[in-house]
Amino acid sequence: MTPASLLRVARVLHGTTAEGPGLRTAIWFQGCSIRCRGCINPHLFSAHGGTQLTAASIIGDALASGVEGLTLIGGEPFDQPDAGRALAEAAHAQNLGVIAFSGYEYETLRDRDQPTRAFLAEVDLLVDGPYQDWNPETERALVGSENQRFIHLTDRYQNYRPELARNRIDIRLRPDGTIEVAGFLDSDGLMDLGDATATKRTHRRA
Ligand code: SF4
C-alpha cells in the first residue's frame, strides 16, 4: 500500500507546453477508479503500477526547470487525495500554480470526505467530468468531451480561454532512442504536423 505522503505516478514531465497555459510540470497519477469508455490512458487504470515519489522531489525538479505551475492528470488525481493535497500544497508554497483534471464532477468532490476537500482547496483550476466518447469536444483545448468544465477555484488562471487556445503536442527524443509524447492534437493540428514534417522531409532532400 502506498503511504499517504507518497504519490504513485505513472510519469512526470517537466517544462512542457502541452498540458495547460505556460510552461508546466505534468504529473500523471497512476490509478483510476472511473474507467471511462474510450479513455486514451487505460494503462493508468491499475492502482498498483507506476512509481512512488515524494512531493518534495517533484517540486524540486519543477523549480529547477523554471515552470509556472503543475498540471495533475491521470489516471485520477483525486483517487490519491492525501498525496495530491501534499503535492499541491507544496507547489503553492513555492508560488507554483495547480491545475487538476478529474473524472469526477466538482460537486461530487466538494461533497466528499475531508481529504478530498482539502485537496480541492489547493487547486487553482479544476477541469472536471468523465470522458464521454459519444460527445467529443471540437472547440476547446485540453478536454476530450463537451461535458468537461473549466472551474476556476482561484483567479490564477482566470485569463485562460480554452476556446481560444490550441491543443499542442510535446514530442521528445530520449537519450535511449525512445520517444516521449505528451498532449494531443485535433484534426487541424494533425494536418499542420503532417505539413511541417513533409516540409522538413522536402528540405532534407533538396
Ligand atoms: S477519468 Fe480520465 S483517466 Fe480515468 S478513465 Fe476517465 S479519461 Fe481515463
Distance of alpha carbon 90 from alpha carbon 205, whole angstroms: 50
Confidence band of 69 (pLDDT split at 50, 70, 90): very high
- Centre of ligand 1 to C-alpha 119, Å, is 18
Distances (CA, A) of 18 to 148, 164, 199, 204: 18, 15, 23, 27
Query: Residue 1 pLDDT > 60, yes or no?
Result: no
Q: Is the Cβ–Cβ distance between 70 and 86 less than 8 Å?
A: no
Query: Residue 198 pLDDT > 70, yes or no?
Result: no
Looking from the CA of 156 toward its CB, the CA atoms found within 13 Å total: 19
Name beta bridge partners: 38. Answer: none
Q: What is the pLDDT of residue 206?
A: 35
**Weakest-pLDDT range from 92-101, 133-142, 197-206:** 197-206
Query: Residue 186 pLDDT > 80, yes or no?
Result: no
Query: Residue 68 pLDDT > 50, yes or no?
Result: yes
Query: Residue 205 pLDDT > 60, yes or no?
Result: no
* Over residues 87-95, mean pLDDT: 98
| CATH tag, 6-165 | 3.20.20.70
Which residue, among 196, 161, 197, 168, has the nearest Cα to 182 in the 3D structure? 168
DSSP for residue 122:
T
Which residue, among 151, 69, 75, 160, has the nearest Cα to 110 in the 3D structure? 151
Ligand 1, atom 8: closest residue by C-alpha: 39
As for ligand 1, residues whose beta carbon falls within 6 Å of it are 32, 34-36, 39, 41, 44, 74-76, 103, 130-131
Query: Residue 200 pLDDT > 60, yes or no?
Result: no
Rounded to 5°, the CA angle 198-199-202 comes to 85
- Centre of ligand 1 to C-alpha 50, Å, is 16
Residue 30, SS3 per DSSP: coil
Domain residue spans in the chain?
Answer: 6-165, 166-206
- How high is the mean pLDDT of the chain? 90
Q: For the segment 76-90, what is each residue's pLDDT rounded down to a tens digit?
A: 999 999 999 999 999
- Centre of ligand 1 to C-alpha 6, Å, is 21
Q: Which helix (H) or strand (E) holds 116?
A: helix 114-120
Q: How many CB atoms lie under 10 A from the CB of residue 184?
A: 15
